[in-house]
């Protein structure tokens, strides 16, 4: 499972970097979203995959029962997802406005360089 997730996040990274290196604005956003997802997967994987029970103390028990999953990486990812949702919502509006203002979807032309 760990290996699978590691490969998956690697693939997401590669796809994200590939898309960022295109000149299209829309692909730039998609690439960044991929990289954001890859980052979340890395945290998830690095936090340790044990296939264990949730970290909830059972009824009547005084302690957590081993093995339990570490809830902190999940909390971190949840926070990161919420933040990136807000940021990407903003970024989408930004490129829409940029496209409306300039009529260009090409980063080089946007910069004043001919492609």
Partner 1 sequence: MNLLLVAPILIPLVAAVLSMLLRTSQRAQQSIAVIGGMGMLTSAISLLDAAADGSIQVLRLGDWPAPFGIVLVVDLFSALMLLLTAVIGLAVIVYSLAAIDLPRRRFGYFPLVHVLLMGVSGAFLTGDLFNLFVWFEVMLIASFVLLVLGGEQKQLQGAVKYVTLNLLASAMFLIGTGLLYGKTGTLNLASLAMLSGTDAENAALNVSAVLFLASFGIKAAVFPFFFWLPDSYHVPPVPVTALFSGLLTKVGIYALMRTFSMVFVHDTDFTRPLFVVLAAMTMITGVIGAVAQGEMRRLLSFHIVSQIGYALIGLAVFTPLALSGAIYFTLHVAIAKTALFLVAGYVLAVRGDTTLKNIGGLLRSAPLLTALFLLAAISLAGLPPFSGFFAKFALVKAGLDAGEFLLAAVALAVGVLTLFSMMKIWNEVFWKDDPNAPAGDASEASASSAAAARITPLTSSARLLYILPLACLVLLTVIMGIAAQGVFEWTDAAARQLLEPEQYIRAVLGGPQ
Length of the chain counted residue by residue: 115
Q: Does 12 bind partner 1 (CB under 8 A)?
A: no
Residues 8, 15, 30, 43: which binds partner 1 (CB under 8 A)? 43
Nearer to partner 1, 57 or 97 (CB): 97
Sign of the dihedral defined by the CA atoms of residues 100, 104, 106, 109, in that order: negative
Radius of gyration of the chain (CA): 20
C-beta of 1 vs 101, nearer to partner 1: 101
Q: 62 vs 113, which CB is nearer to partner 1?
A: 113
Does the footprint of partner 1 cover residue 68 (CB under 8 A)? Answer: no
The answer to whether 111 contacts partner 1 (rule: CB under 8 A) is yes
Task: Mention every residue, 6+ apart, whose C-beta is less than 8 A from residue 109.
Answer: 115
- In the chain the first and final C-alpha atoms are separated, in Å, by 44
Per rule CB under 8 A, is residue 107 in the interface with partner 1?
yes
Identify the residue among 86, 113, 114, 115 touching partner 1 (CB under 8 A): 86
All residues at 6 or more sequence positions from 71 whose CB lies less than 8 Å from its CB, including other chains:
54, 55
Of 10, 53, 94, 108, which lies in the binding site for partner 1, with binding defined by CB under 8 A?
Answer: 94
């Amino acid at each position: 499972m760990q290996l699978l997730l590691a490969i998956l996040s690697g693939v997401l990274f590669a796809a994200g970097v590939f898309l960022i290196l295109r000149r299209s604005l829309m692909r730039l956003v998609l690439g960044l979203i991929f990289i954001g997802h890859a980052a979340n997967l890395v945290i998830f994987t690095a936090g340790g995959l044990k296939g264990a029970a949730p970290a909830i103390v059972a009824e009547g028990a005084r302690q957590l029962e081993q093995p339990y999953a570490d809830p902190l990486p999940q909390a971190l990812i949840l926070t990161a997802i919420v933040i990136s949702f807000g940021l990407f919502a903003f970024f989408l509006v930004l490129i829409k406005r940029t496209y409306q203002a300039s009529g260009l979807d090409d980063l080089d032309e946007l910069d004043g360089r001919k492609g």
